[in-house]
Amino acid sequence: MSTAVDTASPTAPEPPTRPAGRFSELLRAEVHRLLARSFIRVVLALAVLGWLGAVVLALTQFSSPTPERLAEARTAMQQSVALSERFRQDCLDDPARPAEISGDDWCGPAQTVADLRAADFLDPPAFSLAAAGVEGAIAVGVLSAMLAFLLGATFVGAEWSSRSIVAQLFWEPRRARVMGAKLLVAAAASVVLGVLAQLAWPATAGLLQALVGDGAPLPDDFWPELAAAAGRGVLLTLLAGLLGLGLTNLVRNTGAALGIGFVYFAVLETAVNVLRPAWQPWLLTNNAAALALPGGLELSRPVETVDAAGRPVLESAVYVLGSVQAGVYLGLVTAAITGLGVVLFARRDVH
Amino acid sequence: MPAVELHAVTKTYTRLGRPPRRALDDLHLVVGTGGVHGFLGPNGSGKTTTIRVLLGLVRPDAGEVRLLDRPVPAELPQVIGSVGALVETPLFFPGFSGRQNLQLLAATAGIPRSRVEEVLKTVDLRNRATDRFRGYSLGMKQRLGIAAALLKSPRLLLLDEPSNGLDPAGIRDVRELIRRLGSDGSTTVLLSSHLLAEIEQVADSVSIMAQGRCIASGPVAEVLAGRSTGDVRIRVPALAEATAVLTAAGFAVTPAPDGLLVHGVADPGAVTRLLAEHGHYLEELTPVSADLESTFLALTAPPA
């Protein structure tokens, strides 16, 4: 049955129809939505508080090497050398020492003050920017990646739990566009988070070096290595943020996404490490570590071979997971999970 | 130009482990521009699915859908800026205030913030605009949903059960708002409701759905006329004599307050003439028309 019902005045001019908003407006709304979320504000505030707490803690754990403290350290160093020499002498005098083995081979070479650094005998120690710079950037990269995963997951998870993402389709029915805007904003937010964290680290480390540092000069390759570690940390943060959003969008629930993450990292990866060590290069944690660490990650696993006599022997096979390889792999995993979520969102009915 | 057109639209929901359910079955529906069009039907008749299809949320298996003369979903983005919608429960961020939720939606379409204040005033929520959505009563949530639908100053307003959760005063306010919107000539309101009285009071036209099909559609008076009872109520001074005359002529007559009810009257003029010929002059003759409720129940009743 088809019945036309026209109640309008036949002469009334019809106003023109309006299309959906521009993509830039959609992006602006997504940024607004991200920044207005209380949970995200609380998490970021807690991260800043945690950072300040860590700085205060570091200030209590390190102390600058004053001339008096350095003198004490040198005394402690000399006492250590003397103690070491006494033990070595006891070792050399031991009648059980085989005659054919030299004293240096059996008891080790004699230690002198030239072999040691007075700074190592400071208590509390002085902060060393040269030693902690790159390691700190890696740790900061891992922490910001974890934070980005959480933010990415809750960003879209909150929309699914409140179903406000459905209401958004009343305004922009092109679903790929809606999800594209969310992904872009999540990616930008992750990069900003990663960059801020990587800028905050040298600033903090510089402060510690100035207040409680060892005053030692930095090696020539310090800044390039720090910049490389920071860059890898930002990339890891970006991928983690997108992975959090992609996984949550796929399962349409923050709790479920975090649960899947927990089961994967706590159960599946452990099981793979124990039962299928050959699969270690495919684990996300190993790839994340390989991306973050300079030179990648060295993985070893037992391999059964045969010796010259044909007898089976168990050897350790070493596999180096390079940073580039890990970055590409993590990128592909993120793209696959995110892409699947976008395709399903674009094609399936929404209720 | 019709505001809404659906031709031969079919939609079957399939879920693993459950039998398929046909929500829309060869649905044909055309709603012209302007006025309020009531969309009636029992639960599960396909009203909400129809609205979801119009908004591109649900993809039909077959058929043609047009909204403001554009095919859906292909060209929906070209007209969505002129379509406001409230489908079932309003969907907002619980942690954001009412104003913040509307501002976010307005930002999506580049609508100025002043418009947010206008619609908040329209639905009488300005005093609570800074409260979080999760603290709103059901009626306030519904009013915010209507405000969101009005943000775009829509040419087509799709309202699915807008009176849900509203108190009597709220229902009256929404009814007046819908009537006002429908009377401006430029806005078409498609009002889905199970409140027959609400539809009857505000709708200019109506469509009745049952089992995924549109079983009646047209101006309210026309749909009701299609279900005419054939009864007339008459008032004459001599009730007993008039009853005798009519009964002798073959009419079924029953007493009614202040008069008589004559059943099965194809031509009311015949009653007038018959009584006049016998010297009884009518003080009143009123055809008894079906109301929307009885029409709705008759049309949607399952087959015996």
Predicted confidence at residue A47, as pLDDT, reads 93
CA B286 to chain centre: 27
Q: Please tell me whether residues B117 and B25 are part of one structural domain.
A: yes
> Which range has the worst mean pLDDT, A12-16, A72-76, A85-89, B124-128?
A12-16
Domain of B72? 4-225
DSSP one-letter string for A103-161: HHHHH-PPP-GGGS-GGGG-SSPPB-HHHHHHHHHHHHHHHHHHHHHHHHHHHHHHHHH
Nearest to A239 by CA among A160, A136, A329: A329
Task: Please check whether residues B221 and B235 belong to one and the same domain.
Answer: no
Q: Point out the residue among B90, B107, B219 whose CB comes nearest to the CB of A28.
A: B107
Say if CB B98 and CB B129 are below 8 A apart. yes
Of B174, B199, B225, which one is at a domain's C-terminal end? B225
Rounded CA separation B239/A92 (Å): 140
Q: Determine the pLDDT at residue A337.
A: 96
| Amino acid B303: pLDDT | 63
Among the candidates B184, B199, B225, a domain finishes at B225
CA-wise closest residue to B122 among B162, B73, B187, B181: B181
Residues B271 and B211 in one domain: no
Token digits of residue B149 = 């639908």
CA–CA separation, B299 and B304 (whole Å): 12
Task: Specify the 3-state DSSP secondary structure of B133.
Answer: helix
What per-residue confidence (pLDDT) applies to A1?
A: 41
Residue, of A302 and A9, whose pLDDT is higher: A302
Please, which pLDDT band fits residue A8 given cuts at 50, 70 and 90?
Answer: very low
B78 & B186 share domain: yes
Q: Say which CATH number the domain at B22 has.
A: 3.40.50.300
Domain ranges within chain A, ordered by starting residue: 23-65+122-347, 78-121
Which A residues in the span 223-262 are in contact with B, Cβ-Cβ below 8 Å? none
Q: What is the mean pLDDT of residues A159-180?
A: 91
In 10 A of CB B123, how many CB atoms? 22
Which of B207, B225, B243 is the C-terminal boundary of a domain? Answer: B225
Q: What does R_g of chain A's alpha carbons equal in angstroms?
A: 30
Residue B24: inside a domain: yes
Residues B87 and B166 in one domain: yes
Q: What is the pLDDT of residue A3?
A: 41
Tell me what ipTM this predicted complex has: 0.78
Rg over alpha carbons for chain B, rounded to the nearest Å, is 24
User: B108 and A349 in contact by Cβ < 8 A?
Assistant: no
Residue of A nearest to B87 (CA): A167
Pairing of strands B188-192, B70-71: unpaired
Query: What are the tens digits of pLDDT across the range A310-329?
Result: 888 888 888 899 999 999 99
In a domain? residue B302: no
- Whether A264 shows a pLDDT value over 50: the answer reads yes
* One domain for residues B19 and B90: yes
For A65, A79, A119, the CA distances from A116, given in Å and listed in that order, are 16, 12, 9
pLDDT, residue A20, reads: 82
Query: Average pLDDT for consecutive 10-residue bins of chain B (304 residues)?
Result: 93 89 94 92 89 95 95 93 89 91 90 94 92 90 92 93 83 86 88 82 90 88 70 89 92 87 84 91 82 71 65
Please judge whether A8 and B34 are an interchain contact, meaning their C-beta atoms are less than 8 angstroms apart.
Answer: yes
Q: Which of A3, A174, A349 sits opposite B77 (nearest CB)?
A: A174
Is residue B296 included in any domain, yes or no? no
Name the amino acid, one letter, at B112: P
Domain match, B221 and B96 both: yes
Supply A156's token pair: 């879209």
The rounded percent of chain A whose pLDDT value lies above 90 is 60
Distance from CA of A249 to the nearest CA of B (A): 17
B47 within a domain of the structure (yes/no): yes
* Assigned domain for B37 exists: yes
Q: Is B303 within a domain?
A: no
Taking CB atoms and an 8 Å limit, are A19 and B96 in contact across chains? no
User: Contact A172/B80, CB-based, under 8 Å?
Assistant: yes
Question: Domain check: are B95 and B155 in the same one?
Answer: yes
Q: Are residues B164 and B105 in the same domain?
A: yes
Domain shared by B162 and B275, yes or no: no
Return the HEC string of A10-21. Answer: CCCCCCCCCCCC
The reply to whether B45 and B92 lie within a common domain is yes
Q: Residue A9's pLDDT is what?
A: 44
- The answer to whether B300 and B45 are in contact (CB under 8 A) is yes
Q: What are phi and psi of B121, to 5 degrees?
A: -70, -40
A164/B219 CB distance under 8 A: no
Amino acid at A142: V
What pLDDT, on the 0 to 100 scale, is given for residue A304?
Answer: 82
Q: Which two tokens stand for residue A48?
A: 């800043």
Q: Is residue B67 domain-shared with residue B157, that is, in the same domain?
A: yes
Distance of alpha carbon B124 from alpha carbon B98, whole angstroms: 12
Q: What is the pLDDT of residue B290?
A: 67
- Dihedral of the alpha carbons of B170, B171, B175, B181, in degrees to the nearest 10: 40
**B297 located within any domain:** no
Q: What is the pLDDT of residue A2?
A: 42
Domain count, chain B: 2
- Quote the percentage of chain A above a pLDDT of 70: 96
- CATH code of B251's domain: 3.30.70
User: What CA dihedral angle connects A162, A166, A169 and A173, to 10 degrees?
Assistant: 150
The per-residue pLDDT of chain A, averaged, comes to 89
